[in-house]
Structure 1
Amino acid sequence: MAKNKALVVGATGIIGSYILEHLSSLEQWDAIGVARTVPQKQADRYISLNLLNREELREALGKIKGITHIFYAAYQDFPAHSKEQIDVNTSMLANIVQSVEETSGALERVILMQGAKVYGVHLGKFKTPAKENDPRHLPPNFYYNQEDFLRIYQAGKSWSWTILRPDVVAGVSIGNPMSIAMVIAVYASISKELGLPLRFPGKEGAYRALAQFTDASLLARASAWAAVQEHTAFEIFNITNGDLFRWESLWPKVAKYFDMDAAPIQTISLSELMPLQKETWMSMIKKYDLLPTPYEKVAAWPFGDFIFGCEYDVISDTTKAKQFGFHEVVDSEVGLIAVLDELRKQKLIP
């Protein structure tokens, strides 16, 4: 039986790293990670590519024969709604798809990652539960440009695409701060080091609203599933853990995990205050023999401010994925604690 050959683009990010790891564990897959900076650990799994350089892409990919699948989870950060955010992120996707198509001759499926921002979660209260066929919000939104590229460019060709929409991905990603688990873990660890109780740093409404996670391991398994099913071609799926929670219930359990007292809400700007804790964190690296990750890369504080500032329910309907055959669920509380355990195991937090 011929193996599928996957190119995982954005392979050092929280989504791509889990997809690469999962595919590499499966006999029916050969997987290659694409990143600008190749990690020293297991460097043979990766290639370094500039997704904005078409000539470089064609030359490098021309040496890799038979790519059947592209898992696309790359992103470059720019100011929201900016022309740069749209142009760069759309161009990166277009360049890799076109280059693989030109050099592989075996492309079967492109799996594109989006997120709940496709529904306008970043703009304010929106219709919930969000369904895959909900109408778009008023643009701009770079997800729309990427999706439109796939729809238009693929027309009449032999390969297909599938789009997955996770939300608030929880996992371990060294040097990539876009993980709510890292935001929580570093904030809690520093608070404890300073002798403080664990206060929810967000807004009152967010503390009581319904929220959701997507476990990174579950998303990797969903990606492998969606990539090979004939009936998932040209379909879009919300992928979350399948349950909901409120921070008012989860936060005291986080405090207990760190052996801290839980205290009343104190709404602060993590973006403003947490960068000022760099010296404390650097001293903790030495004190607890932690992995010396640059403080600027341990947690995305603006991301934390956004998640803890959503004073409205954030719910994605996952019925469609179940109807199409993906039935896995994860208890979000159990999943978060498992990620925190892994952060400790890898010496990323005390």
Structure 2
Amino acid sequence: MSSPKNVALVVGANGIAGLNLIEHLESLGGWEVIGLSRRGGEGRAGVRFISVDLLDAADSREKLSGLTQVTHIFYAAYQDRPTPAELVAPNVAMLVNVVNAVEPVARNLQHINLMQGYKVYGAHLGPFKTPARETDAHHMPPEFNVEQQDFLEQRQQGKSWTWSALRPSVVVGYAMGTPMNAGLAISVYASMSKELGLPLRFPGPPSAYDILMDVTDARLLAHAMLWAATSPKAANQAFNINNGDQFRWSEMWPKIARMFDLEVAPLLPMSLVDVMADKAPLWGRMVAKHGLAPHPYTDINPWRHAQGVFSLNFDFLADPSKARRHGFPGHIETETMFREVFADYRRRKVIP
């Protein structure tokens, strides 16, 4: 049997972007997939995993220098740190270590796709110009997303491969054991509310309930990653990727409640980090009662990220039209996305 033409190296394979990309590539066929993460993964036909510490240049060279057949690198790894300044060194180092190990030996390398986000526009700092556009000026450094892109732009000079950068909004979809997953947070929070006989309360402040925002379906993002990596029109450019519509929690939250057959009570600002800290026994009882998949409660820890999402008190959205103009046709209604994501968590027996 001949080798696949395309070999994808997915960096950050267990994160929400990497995991959904791998599932998308598997569904298409014709791709060999190599997933990188610190904790590895369970291999299967067409997919293998490598456990590697990307902060360690020597370990990266040892584990990755044999990947001569890689044609596409999809970089979606992330190391969290308390401040923007502290984010720069580890996140730039990981990208540099991957490229330094793979690019010199992968003679048929065609593309490197970089995962960014609205941090490029200063969304993590406070109110930013909306809708954000790819042509907007950068904010005052430090900003690791910008430094990563600068590295790729400089490295690509004179090379045959190209790069692209995608800027999703809050990503919603299936993933376990990742700290940045608002979809899982809502699924578990709503399921626990139902288990306790409680209505569904929005946990953010009143100022967050009526902001205008967008989100990005993880499946849509996977399609966009592949499009950007294989479309000549996307070469050496950055693109905002979101569902294509906007919403307010004041409108969406009652709809989400109905998806769980819950009533809505007045919002009540609370720290999800604190409120959900003691819920491991409740989770254990729910797993046994409803025959759920035996995911430990330690794998369900998206609360800090979710609290940040629910606490935004300024409009949070970007213009996705550049990607459309360059040929990416993907979009999904956000209400439909939430319904399908919750159904997926039920199908996988993560929630009742």
Place the TM-score, normalised by the shorter chain, in its bin. over 0.9
Kept in 2: contact 1:237–1:321 (CA 8 A): yes
User: Does residue 51 in structure 1 map to residue 57 in structure 2?
Assistant: no
Kept in 1: contact 2:169–2:241 (CA 8 A): yes
Letter in 1 for 2:49: Y
Post-superposition offset of 1:9: 0.5
1:20-35 equivalent positions in 2, closer than 5 A: 20-35=22-37
Letter in 2 for 1:210: L
Q: Deviations over 1:237-273 (max 9, x none)?
A: 0000101111111111111111111111111111221
Q: Distance in 2 between matches of 1:101 and 1:157?
A: 10
Letter in 1 for 2:56: N
| Structure 2 unaligned regions, length at least 5 | none
User: Does residue 266 in structure 1 map to residue 268 in structure 2?
Assistant: yes
1:1-350 equivalent positions in 2, closer than 5 A: 3-40=5-42, 42=44, 44-83=47-86, 85-350=87-352
Post-superposition offset of 1:41: 5.8
Give 3-state SS (helix, strand or coil) of 1:102's partner: coil
Q: Deviations over 1:145-195 (max 9, x none)?
A: 211211222222222210000111111112224211111111111122222
Letter in 2 for 1:35: S
Kept in 2: contact 1:202–1:267 (CA 8 A): yes
Q: Distance in 2 between matches of 1:285 and 1:27?
A: 34
Letter in 1 for 2:227: W
Equivalent residues, number: 349
Post-superposition offset of 1:333: 0.5
Q: Distance in 1 between matches of 2:283 and 2:65?
A: 44
Kept in 1: contact 2:92–2:147 (CA 8 A): yes
Post-superposition offset of 1:102: 1.8
Deviates more, 1:66-75 or 1:2-11: 2-11
Q: Deviations over 1:268-293 (max 9, x none)?
A: 11122111222222222222222222
Residues 185 and 41 of structure 1, relative CA distance in 2, 3 Å threshold: farther
Please, what TM-score do these two structures have when normalized by structure 2? 0.94
Kept in 2: contact 1:61–1:103 (CA 8 A): no
Aligned-residue CA RMSD in angstroms?
A: 1.7
Residues 293 and 137 of structure 1, relative CA distance in 2, 3 Å threshold: same
Q: Deviations over 1:279-335 (max 9, x none)?
A: 222222222222222323213111111111111111110110011000211011101
Deviates more, 1:98-107 or 1:20-29: 20-29
Q: Distance in 1 between matches of 2:65 and 2:258?
A: 53
Kept in 2: contact 1:5–1:68 (CA 8 A): yes
Letter in 1 for 2:194: K
Post-superposition offset of 1:31: 1.9
Q: Distance in 1 between matches of 2:158 and 2:314?
A: 41
Q: Distance in 2 between matches of 1:297 and 1:121?
A: 27
Q: Distance in 2 between matches of 1:103 and 1:51?
A: 17
Q: Distance in 2 between matches of 1:238 and 1:332?
A: 16
Kept in 2: contact 1:115–1:165 (CA 8 A): yes
Q: Distance in 2 between matches of 1:126 and 1:315?
A: 9
Kept in 1: contact 2:244–2:331 (CA 8 A): yes
Letter in 2 for 1:181: G
Q: Deviations over 1:50-105 (max 9, x none)?
A: 2123333333333333211100001112213243x211111000110111112212
Letter in 2 for 1:32: I
Letter in 1 for 2:233: H
Letter in 1 for 2:267: I
| Structure 1 unaligned regions, length at least 5 | none
Please, what TM-score do these two structures have when normalized by structure 1? 0.95
Q: Distance in 2 between matches of 1:187 and 1:299?
A: 11
Give 3-state SS (helix, strand or coil) of 1:70's partner: strand
